[in-house]
Structure 1
Amino acid sequence: MIETLAETGSTNADLIARVRSGERVIEGNWLVADRQTAGKGRQGRTWFDGAGNFMGSTAVFPHERDPSPPSLALVAGLALYETVLGLHAKPAELSLKWPNDLLLNGAKLAGILLEREGDAIVVGIGVNLAKAPALPDRCTTALSSFGPVPDRDHFAQSLAAHFASELERWRQYGLAPIIRRWLAAAHPEGTALRVHPPGEGSVEGTFAGLTVDGALSLRLPDGEARIIHAGDVMLVQEEG
Structure 2
Amino acid sequence: MLADTTAVESDWLVALRQEGGRGRHGRPWESIEGNFFGSTLIQLRPDDPPAPSLALAAGLALIEAVEVAAPNAQLALKWPNDLMLGDAKLAGILLERSGDRVVAGFGVNLAGAPQIPGRKTAALSPAQAIAPQVFAPLIAGKFSQVLALWRTADPSAFSQAWMARAHPIGTTLEVHSGPGERVSGSFDGIERDGAMRLKRKDGMIDIIRAGDVSLG
Structure 2 unaligned regions, length at least 5: none
User: Which residue in the other structure is 2:168 paired with?
Assistant: 188
* C-alpha distance in structure 2 between counterparts of 1:196 and 1:67, whole Å: 26
Identity %: 49
Q: 1:140 aligns with which of 97, 121, 126?
A: 121
The answer on 1:96 being equivalent to 2:77 is yes
* Structure 1 residue ranges, 4+ long, deviating more than 6 angstroms after superposition: none
Alpha-carbon distance, 1:199 to partner: 5.9
SS in 2 for 1:6: strand
* C-alpha distance in structure 1 between counterparts of 2:57 and 2:179, whole Å: 27
Larger strand fraction of residues: 2
User: Which residue in the other structure is 2:56 paired with?
Assistant: 74
Alpha-carbon distance, 1:174 to partner: 4.0
Larger helix fraction of residues: 1
Give me the TM-score of the superposition, normalised by structure 2. Answer: 0.93
User: Which residue in the other structure is 1:45 paired with?
Assistant: 27
The answer on 1:122 being equivalent to 2:103 is yes
Alpha-carbon distance, 1:40 to partner: 1.0
Tell me which amino acid in the other structure corresponds to 2:71.
A
Tell me which amino acid in the other structure corresponds to 2:146.
E
**CA shift in 2, pair 1:136/1:58, >3 Å:** same
Structure 1 unaligned regions, length at least 5: 9-26
Alpha-carbon distance, 1:55 to partner: 0.2
User: Which residue in the other structure is 2:4 paired with?
Assistant: 6
Q: 2:89 aligns with which of 80, 85, 108?
A: 108
Matches within 5 A, 1:155-194: 155-194=135-174
Kept in 2, the 8 Å contact 1:67–1:174? The answer is no
* C-alpha distance in structure 1 between counterparts of 2:49 and 2:26, whole Å: 26
* C-alpha distance in structure 2 between counterparts of 1:78 and 1:134, whole Å: 25
Give me the TM-score of the superposition, normalised by structure 1. Answer: 0.84
Deviations 1:133-174 (A, max 9, x none): 11111100001x262421211110000000000000011124
* C-alpha distance in structure 2 between counterparts of 1:233 and 1:71, whole Å: 17
